[in-house]
Amino acid sequence: MKIAGIIAEYNPFHNGHALLIKKAREQGAECIVAVMSGNFVQRGEPALFRNDVRVRAALEGGADLVLRLPVNCAVSGAKSFALGAAEVLDALGCVDTLVFGSECADTGLLCRAAELIESEEVQNAIAEEIKTGIMFANAREKAVMKYSPECGGILKNPNDILAIEYISALKKLGSKIMPHAVRREGAEHDSVFSGGSIASASYIRNIIINGGNWSEFVPENVFRVLSEASGEQKITDFSKYETAVLYRLRTASAQEIALCPDVSEGIENRIVSAAKEASTLDELYSKVKTKRYSHARIRRIILSLFLGITSEMQAAGAAYIGVCGFSGRGASLLKGAYESASLPIITKASELKNAGEKAKMIYEAECRAGDIYALLTDTTGSCSATLREIPVKN
């Protein structure tokens, strides 16, 4: 392992993330490349801190090169999220290992599970289970359990599920990048409790929002970066987000919603109906939720509508490599990557000129998302900030 890739949101960067980077270095990684979601994240909401703040935190936390996961992939379901991120790393042309946290920490088992899930027999079994009216995740788990209880057992673990998607994405791309699982330590994903000095990102976000002390859960140098942004009121005001989304939903048609990713079976009509009655987003999500549609899936559909992300955009994947920041080691790696990359490397807007129409479409969506995000922070930001962005140097 010389160049390790990590797929993350760093919302926010914490001790668990630092530990993963440390373990990657202990196992031979000379350079860490992180593909990070931008201003909006996969759980279907804005990031707590804006993109450039989180990039600076990632570099302080040990990453050498931070690349952007395009917004069309960042706000999608696990499969498209993983595929888009793997595509960015693979396109760089120099990453040899993908390192990720895992509850089971068994790379071989995760690979077997990924292969089993993609088999025709299991795909047919999943389709049969879905006919009973259960959600896809439950259908997949039940189908895999029939063929391998060992593989089916890890499908209860959120990090293992995402790890399987990473492995499947690498295989789909025909990538030479090798997967490498590292045991997740501390608090469980989305846990409301901390596990010593390692807490879940959701737990830390709640402390920050409520004005508590969260310094013990993040590296000291990262805490300085994030606390400075928090002190300047440059974090998301979720009440602004809620009002803006409810407004957008009350003015949306079922036809508009139907263009968003993951919409089927007339769920767009349930969303339109619920939007006329709901006074909060939680109320809206509860009204729309069905046995087949989880809260997370509904949040992503609604966020996609809010940002103008269509199924066509999601299918475009990663059309360029967006550079967000780098250290000295990262700058050296990036210099060599211009020779090995299979997608255009973009460090500023002017470089999109010859990147192709698909890249321009995704970048326009990125800029639109940035302009919307600027309205959602405690201190309202300016428009066109994405167009003016240059990589953060550490």
Cβ neighbors of 360 (< 8 A, separation 6 or more) are 352
Please say whether the beta carbons of 110 and 102 come within 8 A: yes
Contact criterion met (CB below 8 Å) for 44 and 12: no
**What pLDDT was estimated at residue 385?**
81
Alpha-carbon separation of residue 87 from 124, 205, 357 (angstroms): 27, 29, 18
pLDDT at 166: 98
State the sign of the Cα–Cα–Cα–Cα dihedral 199, 43, 375, 349: positive
Exposure string for 233-260, b = 16+ CB within 10 A, e = fewer: ebbbbeeebbeebbebbeebeeebbbbb
Residue in the block written with tokens 């928090």:
230
Query: In the chain, where do the E strands start and end?
Result: 3-8, 31-37, 40-41, 45-46, 65-69, 97-102, 178-183, 321-326, 345-346, 392-393
Where residue 206 falls (left for φ over 0; alpha for ψ -120 to 50; beta otherwise) is alpha
Predicted confidence at residue 187, as pLDDT, reads: 60
Whether the upstream peptide bond of residue 12 has omega within 30° of 0, thus cis, is yes
Q: What is the pLDDT of residue 193?
A: 57
Q: What is the pLDDT of residues 15-51, one digit of tens each?
A: 999 999 999 999 999 999 999 999 999 999 999 999 9
Write down the pTM of the prediction.
0.94
Q: Using the structure block, give the residue that is written with the tokens 């990036």.
A: 334
Q: Which helix (H) or strand (E) holds 160?
A: helix 158-173
Low-confidence ranges of the chain (pLDDT < 70): 1, 186-195, 233
